[in-house]
Amino acid sequence: MIGRLIHLQGSQRQSLNTRVTRQSSFTEVVPARPGEILDRNGHVLAMTVTRESLYLVPAEIEDPTNVVWQICSVLNVNADELYERLTKNPERQFIWVQRRLSSDDAALIRQLGLPERTWGFRREYLRQYPQGAYAAHLLGLRDIDNFGHGGLEQSLDDLIRGRDGTRVMTRDARGIVIEVEAARSETPQHGQTVISTLDVLTQVQSERELDRLVHRWQPQGATVIVMEPHTGEVLAMASRPGFDPNLPSEVPSNAWRNLAVSAVFEPGSTFKPFVVAWAIQHGHLKPDDVIPCFNGAYRMGRRILHDHHAYSQLSVENVLVKSSNIGMARIGERLGVQGLHRATAAFGFGTRTGIELPGEIDGLVRPKADWDEYSIGSIPMGHELAVTPLQLITAHAALANGGRLVRPHLLLGSSSDQTVPTPLSGVETVAATPTLESQIVHPDIADWLVRHPMKGVVERGTGKSARVDGLSIFGKTGTAQKPDPETGGYSDSKHFCSFVCGAPAENPQVLVLVMVDEPTAAGSHYGGTVAGPTASKILEFAVQRLPHISGRMTIRPEHDLPASRL
Amino acid sequence: MVGIGLEKQTLEIKRSVSGQYFQKDLLLEMHAHLRLKIQTLTAPSQLAKIDHTASPLPLPHQSSIASDVSAHDTASAPVLPLLRWEHPVRSSD
């Protein structure tokens, strides 16, 4: 006996200690709760709740047939598959049956009265999007393993997801937990809350109008962006086709793409104001200049440019109001390749804006060495380059805000007066990245362009369909032919239609861009007719929302979150 | 004997503390469920429907949102295991 005791305490001490620790102590992961995503007024766009996930213990199941039959009478589970998994792994201690059950399904499972030890629930987080399909492309979604895909869920994944903790526990011989070893456990770092610049009401209205547009014109795709031009805050952004992030398994394959940042198109006439602004800024043009337009046909090198209507000459203002290609080509000649290329770069084309969204692309601006005489005629009317809708509205924001190019963003600045999340004081929020800006044209030039030519576009030019009584709107239409891969040239029947507008013209507060990719329904496919009415309706709504958008952020008490954290 | 008594008392207090943490977790979850329900019912899309139709308050039609804590859950809340952890030998029911 003494010898045996010495043997156990001496030579086998280490191995037995290890064995006891292994049998009695175990570690479980304590998942971090993903942070919420809120709009600027505290409406929840994404949040996390728990659901119960059902598992079975094959090693304890004596009658697999009965268990499978009972479970399948309640849950939509493939009975054959479940039976096979049970019978093929009879020694296993754990297999998932179905994860994240609804409360009702979990209650039904409990009522089955399955034998003890053969089954159990584990609680898992489930991401929910209370606004349904609205803002889906901006939010993205979170998969079953809590990884973000698309939108803010992906770009801010590290911050929203948090960091899982661990809990080390000791159990007795019957497997019952008798102690949590706090010293060896690690508290989970829950995800941070994101306060976005979105205004949900503007978002909902924008998407509804976009849906009406899609229903009317049957395009391949469409997108809308609403922006506050002075700060670059995105108030709404939507893309079609869309999806419901609450139903990830039903997302169409073509709906994942956020056209606002990942589609490129030739901007057409919406590009013209930038060329004019740059030409005036650098002394190549004066606002009161008169441009000869050669009665609608102008030979430029090896090609002849045409206008929709014949003009002998036009003022600079009317070149934009009437959207004269010849007038723009003449201005392009004054700038030359060098000036045009600089203008393109200065307004941010060819480089990503840096918005907090994945999948943003640079657009297509060829190297200056590849530009030639042909480019001098094409670039001023928005051809030979491709831009993303976000790049385009960002450049127009520079005209609307007095000539400053600001970085568009989706995170509300935490130092802003609008962010006073007192009830959320216990919740850590994601800090917004600093806004960079640069003065690219003189404020007087930008103001003149907005208050005269671009306002004239809506009052008496190609954007008349966007007029709203009592609202001083400025804007610019754009209609560009799509490249036809079959002919290698431009298609006569496929167009990109766009319209960018803002209000009030005297002090722009909101900008709206609507871009429509290849409308197929019958009708004239001009930017003014296809995109104009939708843009002006959204703009009208957004202007009415201005007091709620620019005012101090308030969060109702029911939007409070508990301040305590694990 | 005193030592064993103290050990038992310590263990009991630890259990009590763990139980309270667990209760706090449950309350947080309940809060989250109710918050989700509030947000779903007061979503601008729902309010806009009311505004447009000017009809009595419609039932929320957001089938894609998973149902929240049901009356059944609160009425017959199951005996929940310690620390949200469920071992096969102590299944929740």
Phi, psi torsion values for A272, nearest 5 degrees: -60, -40
pLDDT score, position B54: 47
* Euclidean distance between CA atoms A224 and A208, whole angstroms: 11
For residue A335, give the amino acid letter. Answer: L
* Euclidean distance between CA atoms B3 and A566, whole angstroms: 32
pLDDT score, position B48: 63
Across the strands, what pairs with A30?
A: A165
- Largest Cα–Cα distance in chain B? 76
Note down pLDDT in tens along chain A; length 566 residues.
888 888 888 888 888 888 888 888 888 888 898 999 999 888 899 999 999 999 999 999 999 999 999 999 999 999 999 999 999 988 898 999 999 998 899 999 999 989 888 999 998 999 999 999 999 999 999 988 889 999 999 999 999 999 999 989 888 877 777 778 888 889 898 889 899 999 999 999 999 999 999 999 999 999 999 999 999 999 999 999 999 999 988 888 889 999 999 999 999 999 999 999 999 999 999 999 999 988 888 888 888 888 888 889 999 999 999 999 999 999 999 999 999 999 999 999 999 999 999 999 999 999 999 998 889 999 999 999 999 999 999 999 999 999 999 999 999 864 334 333 433 334 567 777 666 678 999 999 999 999 999 999 999 988 999 999 889 999 999 998 888 888 878 888 889 999 999 999 999 999 999 999 999 988 888 888 999 999 999 999 999 888 777 654 433 333 333 333 33
Q: Identify which of A309, A305, A312, A264 has the alpha carbon closest to the alpha carbon of residue A291.
A: A312
Say if A56 is an interface residue toward chain B (CB within 8 Å).
no
In A57-161, the DSSP E strands lie at 95-101, 119-128, 141-142, 148-149
Q: What tens digit of pLDDT does each residue of A342-392 get?
A: 999 999 999 999 999 999 999 999 999 999 888 999 999 999 999 999 999
Q: How far is B62 from chain A (nearest CA, A)?
A: 7
Cβ-in-10-Å burial (0-12, 13-18, 19+) of A116 comes to: middle
pLDDT score, position A400: 95
pLDDT score, position A25: 87
* Euclidean distance between CA atoms A305 and A309, whole angstroms: 12
Which is it for strands A194-195 and A44-56: parallel, antiparallel or unpaired? unpaired
Say if A144 is an interface residue toward chain B (CB within 8 Å).
no
pLDDT score, position B49: 65
pLDDT score, position B51: 56
In A105-164, the DSSP E strands lie at 119-128, 141-142, 148-149
In A471-544, the DSSP E strands lie at 474-483, 490-503, 510-517
Ranges of chain B whose pLDDT falls below 70: 47-93
Write out residues 20-49 of A within 8 Å (CB-CB) of B.
Answer: 28, 43-44, 47-49
Q: What's the distance, CA A20 to chain centroid?
A: 52
Q: CB–CB of A175 and B36 under 8 A?
A: no
For residue A244, what are the contacts with CB-CB under 8 A and spacing of at least 6? A129, A132, A133, A136, A250, A251, B64
Say if A286 is an interface residue toward chain B (CB within 8 Å).
no
Q: Identify which of A130, A152, A158 has the alpha carbon closest to the alpha carbon of residue A140.
A: A152
Q: What tens digit of pLDDT does each residue of A425-447 get?
A: 345 677 776 666 789 999 999 99
Closest B-chain CA to A133: B64
Q: Identify which of A118, A86, A123, A128 has the alpha carbon closest to the alpha carbon of residue A106.
A: A123
In A172-289, the DSSP E strands lie at 177-180, 194-195, 221-228, 233-240
Q: CB–CB of B65 and A171 under 8 A?
A: no
* Euclidean distance between CA atoms A239 and A133, whole angstroms: 11
pLDDT score, position B71: 39
For residue A508, give the amino acid letter. Answer: P
- Residue A531: both structure tokens together: 């995109």
Q: CB–CB of B44 and A120 under 8 A?
A: no
